Amino acid sequence: MKISLVKFIALVLCVLSVSNTCSGQCEEYGFLSCSIGLLNMTSDGGPRLRRAIDNSEDNLWSVIIDRLIVASAASGPFLQRIGAFTRSLSFLKYHDAVFQLPADTIIEGVFITDASPLRSFVAARNQYLQTLHIDKCSLDRIPTTLANMPVLNILVIRECALRVVRMDAFAGTSALQSVALDENKIRQLLPATSNPTTFLPIREFSIESNLLERVDMAVFASMPELEVLSLRNNRIVALQATLPVTLANLVRFRFEINAISSIELGQLTLPTLAMLMLDQNAFSEMPTNWPKMPELKLLSIEETNLKEANLTSLRVFPKLRSLYLGVNQITTFQVMEPVRLSALEFFSLSKNKLTSVNFSKLHVPLIYFIDLAYNQLKTIPPLFQRYPNVTLSVFNNPLTCSAIQPFKSRIVTKRLYGDSVWGNEPCQTTSFIVIDEEEKLCCNA
């Protein structure tokens, strides 16, 4: 008989019976938990575990077993036996190459971490498992038996060896709503091909921190219910939609921290998306071939290589309220042709290399805050005349005192924010302007 030694935590979410008698087999109690050093399921482990649960003075949420001895494997028949005590199992270290989920084992959640030997997950027909979470394993493909778990709701395979993800792998998983495949070695996503009308109920799909270089949004056409999609921290250089795709429910779309220099998403329709973050990519100019996003309210393109900020392409976003173009390489901001952004309220160009700005052709009737902090401006741009209700931030610019003096009243009324100090705090500039008894604004003579 093969003896397998496993270290795991078993979360007891459904204790079958509780009594208020004295402590039994638990060696240590924590908050709603019980610790057992060694449990031998090949001899008296089952009765000992039952006594530990029955003799607890409180309802137990978890039983922590430091060393577990089982016959042959820590999955398969063992899961059927342990199902009498718990609805959820967490293995802190798993030593076997295969994890077997038997037919109709009543475990609802399996959590496996530190499982480098694990190369295969095999499920028989099972009507109970709802959550499968595997970390740090050697799986190189999505398990082919997912369809045998019709109530599976959450699938996490993280820090494993996945290289290619075929959407066909999720076919038949009628309850699967959340998939996270972060920190693998995924280089390719392949669309569902076995049935062109394949419908996947997935609402959240994350494939962060992988090795993707090119992504065609057509691969997600089989996920019409998708609400959250994250492609953050890959190596994506090209993001496109080669076929018409509509993701009617997508409300969060993340692809920051990539190497994208342009997007070709004119065939992608995102009718409910309100926020789009393109930060930490390789854009040198503003994208023009945008997805159709009639509800877009916030757009951020920060920490990229933008050298200009042509807002012409943004006219297709009538509800855009906030625009972030900070931490780029923009030296001059000028609107070359009339652009009207009727809903824009907040506009940031902070932390660029601006020496001049010209807003004369930008029509933003609702604008209330423009952030020009951390640039190279030496004068206050004439924005108050054009936008009388605006508040302007010019922190950390090499402004001269003569340029600031005419705007002193704006500082007093908190419509202009610069490098103020209070009390006896010294300025780091060559001079300052006294605002009131406590405040002075630092500037250069």
Contact between 215 and 253 under an 8 Å Cβ cutoff? The reply is: no
Q: How many angstroms separate the Cα of 228 from the Cα of each of 158, 175, 180, 192, 279? A: 18, 17, 11, 19, 17
Contacting residues for 8 by C-beta, under 8 A, at least 6 apart: 65, 68, 74, 89, 90, 91, 92, 93, 94
Contacting residues for 218 by C-beta, under 8 A, at least 6 apart: 191, 241, 242, 243, 245
Nearest to 354 by CA among 335, 378, 376: 376
CA contacts within 13 A on the Cβ side of 20: 0
Q: What is the pLDDT of residues 171-187, one digit of tens each?
A: 989 999 999 999 999 99
pLDDT band (50, 70, 90) for residue 74: confident
pLDDT of 122: 96
Of all residues in the chain, what percent carry a pLDDT higher than 90? Answer: 74
Q: Which domains does the chain have, with CATH numbers?
A: 274-390 (3.80.10.10), 399-444 (no CATH)
Instruction: State the SS3 of 89-116.
Output: EEEEECCCCEEEECCCCCCCEEEECCEC
Q: Is 348 helix (H, G, I), strand (E, B) or coil?
A: strand
DSSP string, 191-246: ---S-TT------EEE--SS---EEEGGGGTT-TT--EEE--SS---EEE-SS-EE
Give the whole-angstrom CA distance, residue 193 versus residue 400: 65
> For all residues of the chain together, what is the average pLDDT?
88
- Amino acid (one-letter) located at 189: L
- Amino acid (one-letter) located at 139: L
pLDDT band (50, 70, 90) for residue 48: confident
| Count of beta carbons in the 10 Å neighbourhood of residue 441 | 24
Nearest to 7 by CA among 109, 110, 115: 115
Strands 3-11 and 88-93, how do they pair?
A: antiparallel
Whole-prediction pTM: 0.85
pLDDT of 12: 32
Give the whole-angstrom CA distance, residue 377 versus residue 397: 5
Per-residue pLDDT at 4 exceeds 50: no
pLDDT band (50, 70, 90) for residue 25: low
Nearest to 242 by CA among 265, 276, 211, 258: 265
Q: How many angstroms separate the Cα of 439 from the Cα of each of 294, 415, 416? A: 45, 15, 14
pLDDT band (50, 70, 90) for residue 153: very high
User: In the predicted model, what is the mean pLDDT of residues 354-361?
Assistant: 95
User: In the predicted model, what is the mean pLDDT of residues 416-438?
Assistant: 94
pLDDT band (50, 70, 90) for residue 27: low
Residue 199 Cα to chain centre, angstroms:
24
Contacting residues for 76 by C-beta, under 8 A, at least 6 apart: 100, 102
Mark 356-385 as b/e (b = at least 16 C-beta within 10 Å): ebebeebbbeebeebbbbbbebeebbebbe
User: In the predicted model, what is the mean pLDDT of residues 276-281?
Assistant: 97
Per-residue pLDDT at 279 exceeds 50: yes
Helix H or strand E segment including 409: helix 408-412
